[in-house]
Amino acid sequence: MKKRKLIAGSIATVVAITLGTATTSNADDRGFGKIGELSTVLNSLKDKGTLTQSQVDAIESALKDSKSSARAEMIAAKDAYVKVLTDVLGISESDLMAKVKAGESLASIAGTKKDSLIKAIVDFQTKTIDDALAAGKITGDQATKLKTKLLERTTSMVERAKGLGKGFGLEFRGGKGHGKGPRS
């Protein structure tokens, strides 16, 4: 169970650093940042004279644009990751999806290419971390921590049945989510 959380966390972290930070990429999806709640706060500030209607509109528009941009980056990160998998495995994305949905692990799909697949995933994640470090999205300490046991976590993820979890929106089932009820 702990390994699943580490694996899911590492995948989510790679995606998050690709996008900058997880909190800014989902400003209207979680907690206090929900659009309805934020609109209430902004309108309250407008009513108090702290903000004008044009400022409220500009803030709401910027949040929507940020979400669209973050989604586009998330899709690009997912596509790049899937390309790594399909290039090494020599199969299409639809074939990969079908095999994973059927319950095959990436290791069983890879067969004799398992070691190449693990190396390609580790290289991809390492490059993502290095790019985030170079862009100033994470610190050196964060990069080092993300790289710690990367090979071990990736190997475990590849060998686990049910694929990659939902971190990349690939419809793969892995582990349980937070508050979403049981997954099938």
The CB density around residue 174, as the number of other CB atoms within 10 Å, is: 21
Domain boundaries, the chain: 2-22+71-159
Neighbour-count burial of 148, counting CB atoms closer than 10 A to its CB (0-12 exposed, 13-18 middle, 19+ buried) = exposed
Question: Residue 150 has what pLDDT?
Answer: 92
User: Is 9 strand, coil or helix?
Assistant: helix
Question: Residue 177 has what pLDDT?
Answer: 43
Question: Residue 63 has what pLDDT?
Answer: 85
Could you read off the pLDDT tens digit of each residue along the chain, which spans 184 residues?
Answer: 444 444 444 455 545 554 444 333 344 444 444 667 888 888 888 899 988 999 988 888 888 888 888 888 889 888 999 999 999 999 999 999 888 888 888 999 999 999 999 999 999 999 999 998 998 989 999 999 999 989 999 999 898 876 454 444 444 434 444 444 444 4
Tell me which residue has tokens 């580790």: 122
Question: Residue 109 has what pLDDT?
Answer: 93
The structure tokens listed for 41 are: 């706060």
Asked if residue 171 lies in contact with residue 177, where contact means CB atoms within 8 angstroms, the answer is no
Report DSSP state, residue 166: S
The structure tokens listed for 175 are: 């582990």
pTM assigned to the model: 0.60
Query: What is the helix (H) or strand (E) element at residue 62, kind and residue range?
Result: helix 53-89
CA angle 132, 142, 15 (to 5 degrees): 45
Question: Residue 73 has what pLDDT?
Answer: 85
The structure tokens listed for 184 are: 């099938």
Direct distance between the N- and C-terminal alpha carbons of the chain, in angstroms, rounded to an integer: 17
